Structure 1
């Protein structure tokens, strides 16, 4: 299992920083208790790109495209049954999944759309994700997607732009700072400071050794690193 975490696609905090959610393009995914380091869940996820906790002690993993294998899907699992897929829905090149408790929707991006899924038959052993909202992307290849704190927006990067997606009106608008920024591989707004953090791919590669920050504008260089998705990490709170 260790070999499936060679290339981390996403490592993000959950539950006020008490858990870490990890997805790996080397085909792994895991939920880790941050205080103890205990692996609470793990699964094989072909070209794993994103992971999210769902109500009912469940987890969803976005497995992106692979030439041969079971990628291009969102897979649902019970948190206490590692590796046992309960359901999957096919979707092209998914890169991000976000649970929206206020709207009771799972948001996922793909090559073509942002989709809001309802949790259907969730109290049974055969849960399903049912598309409720389908918003075609203004351009192609949805990439990173994260909530903007204290707003209805998701910040979403695509191949050539960065957008704000309104979860109530389902409309897209260019981001005021990054609207015309191409190859943004990750973008996150700090819930505490509201400061913007992002990574842009360099040339033909999907990583960078430079982190960009806004308000105030500055950069942080990590020589030799191949940084893909960046996340603000809050202090871990006790359970």
Structure 2
């Protein structure tokens, strides 16, 4: 006999009230799946191959690595780093222009309005908001401008840029425990509220005064049930 693991779910009103009841001074948000639906990182990768921004050789190599990741043969940490390193040799301004076009045409429509309102309300109260993501900095920094989050409050997968040209030297890949490490390096060890959608956010959720799983994956639902974290689903992704 199978058993479905579930966690308590909050309505939008309950979710917003629970966050505001904390009166958070520092709030941390994952991005893909949390602020908007879908995976902007892998979508950007596929988009840049279709538009020709990535050459055929790099495209074929990355496609092989991504297939290996989906089979469980390449780690989350490795693939997130490689999905930024693959653009080595391109100009950063070219990548930022591409990220601007990509987000506007493919991701912006997927922003959760409930999350946009929450962030706007928190910012109006003076809350210090951080975005932490394993997706590349070009896409994330572009995307979170919609939420009023400046680039100096973004911790994302990034490589060094020299003389305007992207290199393959990794500077950060925040995923799993790496998200906690990236926050610690930024001086944040005990945020009031943390929001994330996947098990790769679990370590970061665990350091919060209160964790808020949003649009959780199955693995995060299971973790939330164990930790007694109430979950939240924006209307567009709410299970029926």
TM-score by length of 2: 0.29
Higher RCO (Cα < 8 Å, 6 or more apart): 2
**Structure showing the higher helix proportion among its residues:** 2
